[in-house]
Amino acid sequence: GNSVTQMEGPVTLSEEAFLTINCTYTATGYPSLFWYVQYPGEGLQLLLKATKADDKGSNKGFEATYRKETTSFHLEKGSVQVSDSAVYFCALSASADRGSTLGRLYFGRGTQLTVWP
Amino acid sequence: NAGVMQNPRHLVRRRGQEARLRCSPMKGHSHVYWYRQLPEEGLKFMVYLQKENIIDESGMPKERFSAEFPKEGPSILRIQQVVRGDSAAYFCASSSQGAPNEQYFGPGTRLTVT
């Protein structure tokens, strides 16, 4: 089946530190992979995505590379800011060629990031 | 350009009452998805709807839960005879027909059952 395993938090960093949040997945076929961010009291916002192996998604200084050989999609940022404090979710969408319905997202449990000034 | 709207933002119900959660998709979007977030957990898929059609309801509990997306008006997630275990945040997302993987989320409805 399809599932996402995400590094447990909370993660606490000082401003300008390097961030890595690990994410691995299990899926049949060739899923699309996503990182979403949730700020307090708000819904999820799509941060970045990758739709095929070796693709790199990037946005707002965050990056993640779709690694099929290690079934991973780790989120990285070189220098975090206080405003990056939020919960980060890794997610996948199954590929349609395996009989799965497009659209359904499978989420990890989320990682709380707190950045101190 | 309004995003996905959900109301109410907070809903308190006593055990045994009914809860109705509403979701208006982004303008131009015809697909709606409902997810539930239990405390300390990630989001779990519940149901995927198009206008007047249920595409995938494999994540919906078999009893007490139903969803609709009528031709006119918002999508409704309905929970009958609520129990304490239904307390959660319920998120709605929408997408356009050609991009089901690009989902835009609403702010959620936080349901508390007392």
Q: Splitting chain B (114 residues) into consecutive groups of 10 residues, what average pLDDT does each group show?
A: 88 98 94 91 91 91 95 96 96 87 91 97
Test B101 with A102 for CB contact under 8 angstroms: yes
Instruction: Please check the confidence at residue A100 and state whether its pLDDT lies above 70.
Output: no
Residues of B within 8 A of A43 (CB-CB) are: 4, 6, 91, 105-108
Chain A CB within 8 Å of residue B34 CB: no
Q: Which amino acid is at A22?
A: N
A111-116 and A11-14 strand pairing: parallel
- Interchain CB contact of A108 with B (< 8 Å): yes
Euclidean distance between CA atoms A110 and A95, whole angstroms: 22
**Residues A32-40, mean pLDDT to the nearest whole number:** 93
Lowest-confidence segment of A23-27, A37-41, A97-101 by average pLDDT: A97-101
> What's the rounded mean pLDDT across residues A48-64?
95
Burial class of residue A50 in the structure, from the number of CB atoms within 10 Å of its CB (0-12 exposed, 13-18 middle, 19+ buried): buried
Chain B residues with CB under 8 Å of A103 CB are 31, 33, 48, 55-56, 95, 100-101, 103
Answer left, alpha or beta for residue A49, where phi above 0 means left and psi between -120 and 50 means alpha.
beta
Alpha carbon separation from B39 to A73, B47, B85, B112 (Å, rounded): 24, 20, 11, 12
